Structure 1
């Protein structure tokens, strides 16, 4: 099958990383996968035999005016499909979803990687009504893929059932590759005895809560932050105000965070909301405990069963600090592979193939 993946770019960010993994797994199964991106920005290593089409749409895509970019996409698609049509094209980013929402073609699959549940719950009744109308219109007649049950359930609740179908398919992870990379030297000179956060330095990730929890801990431990974002200066200031400047180390994103995860005592996530929580699975694959607050959506679907002890049902610094202290002294922190087997790239790739055949059988 000829399968397209429509993204903003190929930078080192969560959605792009898991999409590249999925493409690699599908390619191994003999399918012709191709990237279609709005811009040429590219940091991720991609196999040379995988085509990469760049639409050169550099202006920020906004839903109200996305019909303009939709016309450009359709012109490109018409030219590109002269010899062979795409079976499906998965749209992976908010911007690309805004574009395909103007196109009545059920081969264009609307994929959702982030949860709007938290922001929705903080809206007034009028703005909730506006949100429902907007998302209902965006996904009308579309096949929708959500990366967690939490996102799927929220969408069912808010979208007035305007979609053609809705499915949950988890993000894929290449166990062998992640484990191999975790054994390499780290990109940075790290402190001893540390916990780690990996992600964007933005409001959603709620790093103030992590710093406030660090202060409350009984044991003294270092915090390594791997990430970039608009709040880096604020986070450094917060650490200084709390007297943590000698315990907090901030480094930029790197292509191999797994060697850092492997050396950490644990990985911590204190997000206000997630779509899935990729770093939790990556940490577990590296053999490192992953602690997360029970935010919507994803962490509770990853940290279940034997891993339930790593899920914190609170956003209180005292409670999170107690959990970090508890896990750091727990001798029984072995991570069974059975707890994350369902997220293997091979399993997820097959779920995507089954999904494609299903929608094709139903006449798209």
Structure 2
């Protein structure tokens, strides 16, 4: 068995971490597991994991201004997935050549549009892996591109064994894209508890102005889905005097910095940018906060609970599943800022303590997930 994972790029986001964890866990069990990127990427990987690139060259490079314009035009008129469906024949043939050269037997399609680009692959069994709610992810600015996106994705998943990272994602696929339930398997992301605990213990000083257990923390891409604007507004409404640390980078950085100034909390909000090892910050935070509109499986909550850091999260898809009634976690309604603000006050003053989350974390142990994954692969190979 030789497996390859297709991602857009490796940039340290949640999908990147999930794919690398899965690759390393499979490699530790003697199963070759490599990564294929669609954009050329330099990223430190273990020596036993190969990195291949299927990026376009010449005039078709993503950085080409004409290609950028065509993609943008398609996005707002007929939907971005319609553009990628036109390239499916060529990109599938390109992946087929790499499969034959490297001898891959199974391909896991992780990134959003890889399900479309490689819908015509013939040389290996392909498993689409869905990391987010498609009912939210496929929405466009008006009904026509939204409908076309939905139709193209639904067609790409027909008769393909599909992996969802949570029950919430599985239910969304069944309801929104009408994927048959017998096609869907739930396999959560691998949580490497030993590595997380080890990284959290590294003896490095905290960033300037931060004192152990004297700050609130939010970690994630600064993207609309994550709703850091909601967090800033709730934080400004609270009476909490602890600083709020935001670890992450993204397209909304400047917008959020302006919002913090407008709310007059910029002196209490620290934007750290991308942090290579956020686990030390997590371990020493008073509270970790997630304010997303939707998630597939918010692994940041699981990682914080693993380090016995209390979490406060909106009841977005996947959050209830991630925390599984752990006493260190509190979930609040998505659209009630006042409740989030009051919870920030309460949890920052009196954070809960509990050592009973280990049974919940058993669900994400590598041994269990790899066993289920291999059972799925064996079943599909024999049918």
Structure-2-length-normalised TM-score: 0.86
Alpha carbons of structure 1 residues 19 and 295: separation in structure 2 relative to 1, 3 Å:
same
2:207 to 176, 182, 188: 188
Give the Cα–Cα distance (whole angstroms) in 2 for the partners of residues 170 and 356 of structure 1: 15
- 2:377 counterpart of 1:356: yes
Give the Cα–Cα distance (whole angstroms) in 2 for the partners of residues 116 and 95 of structure 1: 12
Q: CA deviation at 1:254?
A: 2.0
Q: CA deviation at 1:159?
A: 2.5
Q: CA deviation at 1:187?
A: 6.5
Alpha-carbon contact 2:291-2:314 (below 8 Å) kept: yes
Name the counterpart of 2:78.
none
Give the Cα–Cα distance (whole angstroms) in 2 for the partners of residues 89 and 189 of structure 1: 44
Give the Cα–Cα distance (whole angstroms) in 2 for the partners of residues 50 and 222 of structure 1: 40
Alpha-carbon contact 2:260-2:269 (below 8 Å) kept: yes
Q: CA deviation at 1:126?
A: 6.1
Q: CA deviation at 1:36?
A: 1.8
State how 1:35-74 maps to structure 2 within 5 Å: 35-43=35-43, 45-57=44-56, 59-60=61-62, 62-67=83-88, 68-74=90-96
Name the counterpart of 2:331.
311
Alpha-carbon contact 2:15-2:131 (below 8 Å) kept: yes
Give the Cα–Cα distance (whole angstroms) in 1 for the partners of residues 270 and 351 of structure 2: 26
User: Aligned pair count?
Assistant: 356
Alpha-carbon contact 1:11-1:42 (below 8 Å) kept: no
Q: CA deviation at 1:248?
A: 0.4
Task: Give unpaired runs (5+ residues) of structure 1.
Answer: none
Spell out, residue by residue over 1:51-99, the C-alpha distance to the aligned partner (whole angstroms, 9 max, x if none).
Answer: 2222233634842333232222223223333xxxx23111110132221
Alpha carbons of structure 1 residues 121 and 11: separation in structure 2 relative to 1, 3 Å:
closer
Name the counterpart of 1:242.
263
1:138 to 156, 159, 165: 156
CA RMSD of aligned residues (A): 2.4
Name the counterpart of 1:277.
298
Spell out, residue by residue over 1:333-359, the C-alpha distance to the aligned partner (whole angstroms, 9 max, x if none).
Answer: 224212222112222222211211121
Alpha-carbon contact 2:220-2:249 (below 8 Å) kept: yes
Give the Cα–Cα distance (whole angstroms) in 2 for the partners of residues 104 and 168 of structure 1: 25
Structure-1-length-normalised TM-score: 0.90
Give the Cα–Cα distance (whole angstroms) in 2 for the partners of residues 148 and 111 of structure 1: 11
State how 1:57-206 maps to structure 2 within 5 Å: 57=56, 59-60=61-62, 62-67=83-88, 68-81=90-103, 86-103=104-121, 107-118=125-136, 129-161=147-179, 165-184=183-202, 185-186=204-205, 188-192=207-211, 193-206=214-227
- 2:25 counterpart of 1:5: no
Give the Cα–Cα distance (whole angstroms) in 2 for the partners of residues 272 and 308 of structure 1: 21
DSSP-derived class of the 2:12 partner: coil
Alpha carbons of structure 1 residues 335 and 271: separation in structure 2 relative to 1, 3 Å:
farther
Q: CA deviation at 1:132?
A: 3.9
Name the counterpart of 1:21.
21
Alpha carbons of structure 1 residues 218 and 335: separation in structure 2 relative to 1, 3 Å:
farther
1:347 to 354, 359, 368: 368
Give the Cα–Cα distance (whole angstroms) in 1 for the partners of residues 177 and 223 of structure 2: 27
DSSP-derived class of the 2:197 partner: helix
Alpha-carbon contact 2:85-2:152 (below 8 Å) kept: no
Give the Cα–Cα distance (whole angstroms) in 2 for the partners of residues 194 and 12 of structure 1: 23
Higher RCO (CA < 8 A, seq sep 6+): 1
